[in-house]
Amino acid sequence: MTTITDQKHIMLRVEKKQVDGPAFATLFFNYALPFKPGQFIMVWIPGIDEKPYTISYHSKNEFAITIEAKGIFSQKAITLEKGDLIGIRGPFGNGFDIKPEDAVAVVAGGCGMAPLATLVEQLPENTCFIHGARSREFILFPDRFDMDRLFCTDDGSFGRKGFVTELLENEIASGRHFDRVYTCGPEIMMYHVFNLCEKHHIPCQVSLERYMRCGFGVCGACVCGKQVVCKDGPVFDSSALRGIKDFNTKALLKSGKEVDLAQYFSWRCK
Amino acid sequence: MTTITDQKHIMLRVEKKQVDGPAFATLFFNYALPFKPGQFIMVWIPGIDEKPYTISYHSKNEFAITIEAKGIFSQKAITLEKGDLIGIRGPFGNGFDIKPEDAVAVVAGGCGMAPLATLVEQLPENTCFIHGARSREFILFPDRFDMDRLFCTDDGSFGRKGFVTELLENEIASGRHFDRVYTCGPEIMMYHVFNLCEKHHIPCQVSLERYMRCGFGVCGACVCGKQVVCKDGPVFDSSALRGIKDFNTKALLKSGKEVDLAQYFSWRCK
Amino acid sequence: MTIQFLGKTLKNPMVLASGVLGNSNDILKRVHESGCGLVTMKSIGPEPRDGHKNPTVIDLGHGMINAVGLPSPGYLNMENEWEDLEKREFPLIASIYGGSVKEYRMVAEFVSSKKPDFIEINISCPNSEKHGMIFGINPQSSHDVVSAVKKVINVPLIVKLTPQAPDIGDIARACEDAGADAICAINTVGPGMVIDIESKMPVLAFKKGGLSGPMIKPVAVRCVFDIYKAVKIPIIGLGGITTGEDAIEMIMAGASLVGMGSAVRYRGIDVFQTVADEIDTWLSDHHYTLEDIIGAAHKEDAS
Amino acid sequence: MTIQFLGKTLKNPMVLASGVLGNSNDILKRVHESGCGLVTMKSIGPEPRDGHKNPTVIDLGHGMINAVGLPSPGYLNMENEWEDLEKREFPLIASIYGGSVKEYRMVAEFVSSKKPDFIEINISCPNSEKHGMIFGINPQSSHDVVSAVKKVINVPLIVKLTPQAPDIGDIARACEDAGADAICAINTVGPGMVIDIESKMPVLAFKKGGLSGPMIKPVAVRCVFDIYKAVKIPIIGLGGITTGEDAIEMIMAGASLVGMGSAVRYRGIDVFQTVADEIDTWLSDHHYTLEDIIGAAHKEDAS
Ligand SMILES: Cc1cc2nc3c(=O)[nH]c(=O)nc-3n(C[C@H](O)[C@H](O)[C@H](O)COP(=O)(O)OP(=O)(O)OC[C@H]3O[C@@H](n4cnc5c(N)ncnc54)[C@H](O)[C@@H]3O)c2cc1C
Ligand SMILES: Cc1cc2nc3c(=O)[nH]c(=O)nc-3n(C[C@H](O)[C@H](O)[C@H](O)COP(=O)(O)OP(=O)(O)OC[C@H]3O[C@@H](n4cnc5c(N)ncnc54)[C@H](O)[C@@H]3O)c2cc1C
Ligand SMILES: Cc1cc2nc3c(=O)[nH]c(=O)nc-3n(C[C@H](O)[C@H](O)[C@H](O)COP(=O)(O)O)c2cc1C
Ligand SMILES: Cc1cc2nc3c(=O)[nH]c(=O)nc-3n(C[C@H](O)[C@H](O)[C@H](O)COP(=O)(O)O)c2cc1C
Ligand code: FES
Ligand code: FES
């Protein structure tokens, strides 16, 4: 039987808090977390709720999560301060497939920067790094990496005005070769990136998001088509994505009811 | 927390049976048992009962138990044949304290030879090895060891007529020095050996026997004074023995009732 | 090995437990294709229900604790699902729950019209304040709900029991008398509670939750043993099964089919095929058929 | 830390569980001296009883299963023991059981005359065919036996409960109403069964047995939590405790004292001192006293 390394429920105290503009906060913890970029942990705020978060910084004895303030949980999370207590379980999921010799592009949208940050740190400097957001203040980690980055915003307040897909299309059109594209952001954005890659026969890796309960492939809350997002994913490659008819179309609500993605996200708002 | 290595309940089939005269049978099993001379295992014959037995042969991939036919369980045990099934748990207990450089004597009485056999095999050839029994047919393993042995029987049918204590006393009187005496046999015999050792200031190690249930120090069935025979023992040294007022006097019946040793053994007869 | 169970042919004796992954046709199909003889849908209730807040499922190392809280779209809000499922090519149990005999009957009647191969009524879930449990610990209540449901459905009826019953054999007998076609046992054990000592709070949002996985196997085996003694209808035995040897133990206690839920965590979705293979190997090594060993632990001198 | 419990002073909050090592004055004294605040004798019955045949106790890795079967010399056959115990210098609980209210009263009255510090009535042992269990799952029966015993004894009365009760809070309340001075919870969980698949036989000679050790902790914590909600009298919490953190969890659920039994297997007889030290360290690291945290998990916003 395989050893399960991610079963323990661990309580940690916030070691340091970093405010990343008006929309994001990053919480650091002193803890040696075994981890691979793309994996996630379940974060419990006692008395509030428990939600999945990716790891945005990782070193031998420290890791961090970055939270975008949205609903009840994330708004509470960004008010946490040094010394405050959270529970974690994990890491869960598969993580990105990294081949150091490959020529790759990374396409981040909004908070989708978070899971890509630790990936980017393992990639060569000539990586094509595209980063978009609604507007300037939603650009997460604008100064973090040594690597050059192509920025864009919906309103043009930072970098080029437009969508990440346009930037990626330009690069491809300019004759640049990619062995693989990694992307994380709103599902509609990832869907467009995937389609672009399909058109150009570029393998793609996408990190999906669904409502989660167990995080380890038992409860079924997170299923997307026949895929179990928390265990088979959250990262899926092109061959898997082609088989997921619910990609960019359907998701399950908390009750298990299958709805359109739009309805899913508006439910998540409440 | 300490790792418990002896928790698994394992089913084994008899690999070989060796008949050791009219009174004893030895059952061999192909199994790599972690083991130290003096330790014991709980042996289950499905549908019959479960009882403690010492290991009488031990090598990397094989071990054996030797049974003296007495009551229901042991009479059934000696009828087992190659291919028959038993369950084992263990090994349990502390085992003998072995210091290879010491000059020692080993005093075996009857079936008490069984736990001492694997000990003797680890001792130097100049060990003083005394072995007694009621009569010739109760001398277990008469031809097993390279080492010289001093034999005695109650009826003189094998070796000298008399008791093991007399032989040991002679050896001591002849000026032979012992750093330690190991003994196993009827409790009254061990008691006399212990007293003799006390008189001559020789450290002694004695293997006690009490009714057992769990074998791992929880149920309390085997307590002898303040000692838990299955866990603190079954081997006790002189300093412990001096504190056990029940040594050679009292034992608990199955019900937990404390009785004289004589009554205990006659109960065990039924 | 092919198995006959209440008139249906199953490719092996393995069953996906209710509440584990079973919330869409796609995933049920995948579990079937990866080697599971019979799959169970997540229990369906009378009304839409979100279930409890997270944390809802926590691993404890030797098992897990959950208080998912019976989330359900409600039986009337699953049209796409039912449509997909009617086209299925695999045997299916639809699991249902209710808060009253009337609700059970209502849901069962509707679900029966959607043609699952079997209906399982969950009269045992300890995680909800209003639903289920009470029916599973009192023989009269069990009898009432089973006979009411039996009257309105056209497919065989399986009743899922809780180990919390003071005498689970009594409950099983009441269900059999009321017309149940099979028993499924057990649901989760406990309930239990895990308190985080740093925050001084129960970790599950619902505070209490049901235990599952390896640590509950001895309770499950005892329950199936008791039920086998009490009734003649077949038993789906589950609770803590993760290996072929566990499954054989459950079968010897009296199970005809063996369910697994938590095992998916420990050995992946393929665990059903893996365990089926392990059972096969054990049987052929020992020159037995599956039938030979069902209830074998009940023979006085079995060895 | 020194603890006050029902008018007696204990050196720490640790309790030796009944049935574990507690069958002679010598060994009880040793457990006390090695660091246990309060020791419990093995349950004493109305008549001599050998208990079940072996195997009676089997380790399962994450806990153990036992069907020792309430062996007892019988309360009238323990003269030496009582004599020794009357000379003791440590606090002692005498645990008793019976098959009827009359037997409980008879044994309790006699045992009370031997001056233990407390009497515990075990109304919860699942291992015997005739004894105990029934009183622990029905509030009226619990009330009857507790009030009968209370009338004939001169020492505080502790009632030991079983997790098999459909609502353990109800039982605890019935005991409190009937005059119990404290509750001890829990006895073993289950019962369970382990079948050896090679011999096709239940491993325990009695077939079924009670579960104890780490795997039952969530059930024990939940029971103590429920009891704390239901009654005002103090609780001895036990079931699966092996570490200081486990003990803190039990205390936060509502226990004033913490018992251990199976832990002796995992960490030796000194486990009581070890755990008491671990509790002390945790408390001082967190700047709490023991009283601060009793029942702390019941406060809605505890963190
Ligand atoms: C594997 C995984 C990793 C994640 N990693 C992170 C992370 O690193 N940082 C982070 O901030 N969040 C992350 N999330 C999302 C996170 O779990 C929460 O869903 C999010 O913080 C909102 O929670 P909430 O309770 O505050 O808001 P809710 O009340 O659940 O929802 C509030 C708003 O958020 C929107 N929303 C929620 N999730 C998404 C999404 N994925 N895409 C678009 N809109 C969304 C809703 O539409 C709504 O507008 C991750 C989710 C998954 C499944
Ligand atoms: C740690 C330990 C190791 C043991 N190792 C062995 C071993 O290697 N080989 C072996 O044959 N037995 C050994 N025994 C004893 C064994 O466990 C059984 O008690 C014995 O086989 C008799 O079991 P029974 O059920 O057949 O007889 P019972 O019905 O229990 O008793 C039958 C007869 O045996 C006598 N008897 C039992 N034990 C003793 C004893 N220790 N000293 C004197 N008389 C006794 C009784 O007085 C009675 O005459 C060991 C016991 C312990 C505690
Ligand atoms: C996360 C989770 C959700 C469950 N939901 C249900 C459910 O909806 N209906 C039901 O009858 N049983 C439910 N159960 C119980 C399982 O079907 C099964 O009876 C129990 O987990 C014991 O089996 P296992 O040890 O193999 O997991 C659930 C169990 C788990 C772990
Ligand atoms: C071998 C054994 C014997 C027991 N005998 C008794 C008993 O006689 N009376 C009783 O009230 N409880 C008895 N118990 C139950 C324990 O007192 C305790 O309630 C239970 O084991 C849970 O605690 P633990 O997990 O710390 O062992 C026994 C437990 C074991 C393991
Ligand atoms: S969150 Fe439970 S299966 Fe994915
Ligand atoms: S046999 Fe159980 S304590 Fe020794």
Chain C: residue whose CA lies nearest to A5: C61
What is the distance of C-alpha D21 from the center of its chain? 13
**B216 residue type, one letter:** F
Q: Are residues B146 and B221 in the same domain?
A: no
> Are the beta carbons of A85 and D302 separated by less than 8 Å?
no
Annotated active-site residue in C36, C125, C175, C223: C125
Q: Are residues B177 and B102 in the same domain?
A: yes
Residues in chain B: 270
pLDDT less than 50: residues of chain B: 1-4, 268-270
What is the mean pLDDT of the segment spanning A159-186?
Answer: 93
Contact present, B and D (at least 3 Cβ pairs less than 8 Å): yes
pLDDT for position B6: 57
Q: Are residues B100 and B47 in the same domain?
A: no
Put simply, the chain D residues between 273 and 302 with a CB less than 8 A from any chain A CB are 301-302
Q: Return the closest-CA partner of residue D195 out of C236, C286, C254.
A: C254
The closest-lying atom of ligand 6 relative to the alpha carbon of residue B215 is: 1
Contact present, A and B (at least 3 Cβ pairs less than 8 Å): no
pLDDT-derived band at A261, boundaries 50, 70, 90: confident
Query: How far is residue D120's CA from residue D259's CA, in Å, rounded to a whole number?
Result: 13
Residues from chain A that touch D301, judged by Cβ atoms under 8 A, are 47
Asked whether D42 lines ligand 4 (CB < 6 A), one says yes
Find out whether C127 and C189 touch, Cβ atoms under 8 Å.
no
Share of chain A above pLDDT 70, in %: 96
Residues from chain B that touch D54, judged by Cβ atoms under 8 A, are 42, 44, 49-51, 212-213
Residue A255 has pLDDT above 50, yes or no: yes
Q: Are residues A156 and A249 in the same domain?
A: no
Residue D26 has pLDDT above 80, yes or no: yes
The residue written with tokens 């149990």 in the block is C93
Encode pLDDT of D42-65 as tens digits: 999 999 999 999 999 999 989 999
Taking the centre of ligand 6 as the mean of its atom positions, its distance from the CA of residue B231, in whole angstroms, is 7
pLDDT for position A2: 41
pLDDT for position C102: 92
pLDDT for position B5: 53
How far D20 CA lies from chain B's nearest CA (Å)? 5
Asked whether B68 lines ligand 2 (CB < 6 A), one says yes
Query: How far is residue D62's CA from residue A7's CA, in Å, rounded to a whole number?
Result: 15
Residues in chain D: 303
Share of chain D above pLDDT 70, in %: 95
Residue D150 has pLDDT above 50, yes or no: yes
> Are the beta carbons of D189 and C60 separated by less than 8 Å?
no
Put simply, the chain D residues between 201 and 240 with a CB less than 8 A from any chain C CB are 201-202, 207-208, 211, 214-215, 217-219, 221-222, 225
Residues from chain C that touch A217, judged by Cβ atoms under 8 A, are 21, 264-265, 268-269
Find out whether D228 and D235 touch, Cβ atoms under 8 Å.
yes
Query: How far is residue D210's CA from residue D164's CA, in Å, rounded to a whole number?
Result: 11
What is the mean pLDDT of the segment spanning D295-300?
Answer: 91
Query: How far is residue B155's CA from residue D265's CA, in Å, rounded to a whole number?
Result: 45
pLDDT for position D132: 47
From A164, A186, A207, the end of a domain falls on: A207
What is the mean pLDDT of the segment spanning C78-93?
Answer: 92
Chain A: residue whose CA lies nearest to D300: A47
Query: How far is residue B67's CA from residue B113's CA, in Å, rounded to a whole number?
Result: 11
The closest-lying atom of ligand 4 relative to the alpha carbon of residue D187 is: 19
Q: Where are the alpha helices (H) located in C87-213, listed in sequence order?
A: 101-113, 134-137, 139-152, 168-177
How far D114 CA lies from chain C's nearest CA (Å)? 36
Q: Where are the alpha helices (H) located in chain C, listed in sequence order?
A: 25-33, 79-86, 101-113, 134-137, 139-152, 168-177, 217-230, 244-253, 263-267, 271-285, 290-293
Taking the centre of ligand 2 as the mean of its atom positions, its distance from the CA of residue B52, in whole angstroms, is 8
From B92, B127, B143, the end of a domain falls on: B92
Structure tokens at B186: 């009827």
The closest-lying atom of ligand 2 relative to the alpha carbon of residue B43 is: 17
Residue A261 has φ and ψ, to the nearest 5°, of -60, -40
Residues from chain D that touch B51, judged by Cβ atoms under 8 A, are 54
Put simply, the chain D residues between 235 and 264 with a CB less than 8 A from any chain C CB are 245, 248-249, 252-253
Taking the centre of ligand 4 as the mean of its atom positions, its distance from the CA of residue D63, in whole angstroms, is 12
Encode pLDDT of B141-156 as tens digits: 999 998 899 999 999 9
Interface partners of chain C (CB pairs < 8 Å, 3 or more) are A, B, D
Q: Are residues B18 and B111 in the same domain?
A: no
pLDDT for position C134: 73
Q: How many A×D Cβ pairs under 8 Å?
A: 6
The closest-lying atom of ligand 5 relative to the alpha carbon of residue A212 is: 1
Q: Return the closest-CA partner of residue B80 out of B62, B61, B67, B63.
A: B67
Contact present, B and C (at least 3 Cβ pairs less than 8 Å): yes
Greater pLDDT, C260 or B148: C260
Pocket test for ligand 2, best of B209, B210, B264, B267 (most atoms within 8 A of CB): B209
pLDDT for position C125: 56
Cβ-based burial of B270 (10 A; exposed 0-12, middle 13-18, buried ≥19): exposed
Range of the domain at A56: 4-92
State pTM to two decimals: 0.95
The two beta strands, B104-109 and B180-184, are parallel
> Are the beta carbons of C214 and D62 separated by less than 8 Å?
yes
pLDDT for position B23: 85
Is D74 near chain B, with CB under 8 Å? yes
Encode pLDDT of A3-60 as tens digits: 445 567 899 999 999 999 888 999 999 999 999 999 999 999 999 999 999 999 999 9
Segments making up each domain of chain D, as ranges: 3-302
Find out whether C241 and C212 touch, Cβ atoms under 8 Å.
no
The residue written with tokens 């939270």 in the block is A67
pLDDT-derived band at A267, boundaries 50, 70, 90: low
What is the mean pLDDT of the segment spanning C89-116?
Answer: 95
pLDDT for position C124: 79
Pocket test for ligand 6, best of B39, B43, B208, B218 (most atoms within 8 A of CB): B218
Q: Are residues A71 and A17 in the same domain?
A: yes
pLDDT-derived band at D128, boundaries 50, 70, 90: very low
Q: Are residues B199 and B262 in the same domain?
A: no
What is the mean pLDDT of the segment spanning D21-36?
Answer: 94
Residue A96 has pLDDT above 80, yes or no: yes
What is the mean pLDDT of the segment spanning C222-248?
Answer: 98
CATH class for the region spanning D3-302 = alpha beta
Q: Which helix (H) or strand (E) holds D33?
A: helix D25-33
pLDDT for position D125: 56
Is D296 near chain C, with CB under 8 Å? yes
Q: Return the closest-CA partner of residue D42 out of D73, D65, D6, D12.
A: D73
Residues from chain C that touch B46, judged by Cβ atoms under 8 A, are 302-303
The residue written with tokens 């829990």 in the block is D186
| Residues in contact with A186: Cβ distance below 8 Å, sequence separation at least 6, in sequence order | A109, A110, A112
The closest-lying atom of ligand 6 relative to the alpha carbon of residue D21 is: 3
Encode pLDDT of D217-270 as tens digits: 999 999 999 999 999 999 999 999 999 999 999 999 999 999 999 999 999 999
**Number of structural domains chain A divides into:** 3
Residues D152-179 as b or e (16 or more Cβ within 10 Å = b): bbebbbbbbbbbbbbebbbbbbbbbebb
CA angle D99, D100, D102 (to 5 degrees): 130
Q: Which helix (H) or strand (E) holds D129?
A: none
Residues from chain B that touch C303, judged by Cβ atoms under 8 A, are 46-47, 85
